[in-house]
Amino acid sequence: MDINQYQEELIGQIKVDAQINGRTPDDEFTEDSVNKLTEMSELVDPFISFFGQRGKQNKMMVIDGYAIDPSDHALTLFTSKFIQNPSEMKLGKTDLDSIFSRMENFLECVFEGSINEYCDDSNVYVEIAKDLKRRLEIRYVNVGEEDESIERIRLLVITNGYLAVRNAKAFGSEVFHGKKVDKTVWSLERFFEMYQSGREREAIEIHLADFGVNGLPFIKAPLVEGTRYDGYLTIFPGKLLADIYGRYGSRILESNIRAFLSNRKKINAGIRNTIKTHPDDFFAYNNGISCTTENIHFEKQNGEEVITSLSDLQIINGGQTTASLFSAMSKEGADLSKTFVQAKITVIHEQEEYGEMVQNIARYANSQNQIKESDFFANHPFHVELERIANETPTPVAAGNLRSHYWYYERSRGKYDQQTFKMTDAQKKKYVESHPKQQVITKEELAQYFNSFNGKPFMVARGQVKNIAEFSSYINDRWNKDSSFLNVHFFKRMVSYAILFRRARFILSNADWYDQKGIVTSVVPYALAKMCAICPKGYEIDWASIWNYQSVPPAVDQMLSIALKDAYLFITSRNHGVLTEFAKKEDNWKLYLKEPLQPTMEFAKTLVSTIIEAEKSYSAQKEKAASESINVEVEIMKLGGAYWKRIWDEAAERRIIGPLDVRLLQKASTLSGPRPQLLNQKEAKDLWKLRERLEKQGVIVE
């Protein structure tokens, strides 16, 4: 596929999706593009709602939404431009200057505190503007307090047009009331590059000369030949590290480290005090940083080889150090000329292993930090298994269709597109017919659906980072206890969640009473959670029916409309601040639970017994557990008695096994002998768990 074909397909898909979702193509493009950028970590929990008003001196103010990254305190204002006319596809500097100036006018109005002079007080942006002004004016944050300041500003234009300018990625920087303002564009070319690359995010190319540094001296680690990576040790000047963070923000932080920082808003007093009072001791006191890159470029300078550029730099450990250096320099004017940070850089050779290896390095590098195992969730076997089940479970043939379809579980960003990237047109058409793009579920969406229907709508309202962390923690704990819950029955229920959640979004977006736009992720989870809560004791929504018909029954649809309006009125009438903040508080959800909402008679008739559903789930778990037991017994036999004897010997020598463990290992060690003692299903399962426990304690036998 070339870029023109990509453009044509993109426009066609946007038009189809707009019709399905009841939106205009412009709104659909905004939603679709912002979702893509969120998945790439370009945006964090964006608020999408159009604002267009004439302001001071009749200047036009226009934005389509905003986002605040709590890990690097960056405010992004974004505007989208969807182009359908081929003659208007190219955007020049004049076009972009005009779009940027409208966002700048909005920003100036926010800073002046005069938004309410140019629009009705009921406009959602009146309260948002007050909050942004408050954040922009924060200069100092005391130790122990949460830092809600805005330190960086980015103006972002999103378009499906071509750019008639040389540098599409960086349009320039300015200063706004002491805050650095970067202007960037995500254009057709940039989206196409990402589509072709198959990456989950855009690689960052860092040329040290751009930051006034000629090169970094280094030591290369003398690793064994054939190792999958190279290792280097170097020292970053503190100012260089702060400047890199100032330009790229949290994009240089590995995703779990970014999530960790987002949840730890309080100032690290130790790091800050060292920077301010003992900058020359920072190298000695600080543990330094660990990074990964895809490639490093070297040059000889004055007879010595130095590092001059890094491709796709990701900080794996030391994100708080990096953020603190930037904050001290930008917010408090700290002099970083005497501050230096040691760095370990790992260059990973194999692109196919890149993502998994970065995750593993992050896991072990942060073993002493408060980053839970559940945070390293991207490569969890839960996702792999759910993907397999999705690929093997066709839908029933719905009314109006000639054949069944498949729901596609996208466990890593862009995998659906990559699935079809190298197909011929005929192959792609056939694949898309059986796996429609409207039936793709991402892991972020799955977390939204699950927490909405399981009594945690306030977590969904808190945004993608916190919501998926909550979901992954729950799944990780449940998986460790018994993974048999993940089966075909569970998958079908998740699809039913998706169908009902998406129907709720459609109803809300097209409701004539929905005038406070942009709060879908607050209203929809509250309404769905309330619908589940008002079901009479012992009854629940008939998820099997939604799966079987691949649609929402009329009576459920009617109740959904009532619940959505009820949730909307509760959130908008009880709240006197930023609407999206109200729904994030668990106490407000508990308050809403007490509010009366009567299920309609028709809705009540559609409900099914929870006992029957529990029996179906239990039956599916037993079937899955039996299958897994058989697999475990086969694996135990394959490993052989000698293997289990070696584990027994080492574990006994370390004195980390008890009498019951000894009995299992003793029995397993006979499997390769003349008189093997076979293990029953329970023993096999217990032995496998023992092996996993001993591996975590360092008993690893090949």
User: How confident is the model at residue 568, as a pLDDT?
Assistant: 95
User: pLDDT above 90 covers what percent of the chain?
Assistant: 44
Q: What average pLDDT does the structure give for the chain? A: 86
Residues 582 and 588: beta-carbon distance below 8 Å: yes
Using left for φ > 0, alpha for ψ between -120 and 50, and beta otherwise, residue 73 falls in left
- Provide the token pair at 224: 């064994």
CA distance 534 to 566: 13
Confidence of residue 251 (pLDDT cuts 50, 70, 90): confident
CA distance 444 to 469: 10
CA distance 51 to 80: 12
Residues 45 and 464: beta-carbon distance below 8 Å: yes
User: How confident is the model at residue 369, as a pLDDT?
Assistant: 52
Amino acid (1-letter code) at residue 105 = N
Contacts of 195 (CB under 8 A, 6+ apart): 6, 414, 417, 421
CA distance 695 to 377: 20
Q: Over the Cα atoms of the chain, what is R_g?
A: 28
What are the CA-CA distances from residue 573 to residues 509, 512, 561, 577 (Å)? Answer: 19, 17, 18, 11
- Provide the token pair at 406: 């498949």
3-class DSSP assignment, residue 307? strand
- CB atoms inside a 10 Å sphere around CB 555: 17
Residues 307 and 215: beta-carbon distance below 8 Å: yes
User: How confident is the model at residue 623, as a pLDDT?
Assistant: 62
Contacts for 522-525 with beta carbons within 8 Å, 24 or more apart? 522/461, 522/571, 522/579, 522/580, 522/582, 522/583, 523/564, 523/567, 523/568, 523/571, 523/583, 524/452, 524/564, 524/567, 525/448, 525/451, 525/452, 525/457, 525/458, 525/460, 525/461, 525/583
Residues 671 and 640: beta-carbon distance below 8 Å: yes
Confidence of residue 621 (pLDDT cuts 50, 70, 90): low
Residues 498 and 104: beta-carbon distance below 8 Å: no
**Total residue count of the chain as it appears in this document:** 702
Confidence of residue 624 (pLDDT cuts 50, 70, 90): low
Question: Is residue 80 over pLDDT 90?
Answer: yes
Average pLDDT of the segment spanning 390-419: 82
Average pLDDT of the segment spanning 540-566: 95
pLDDT in tens, 635-667: 788 888 888 888 888 888 888 888 888 888 888
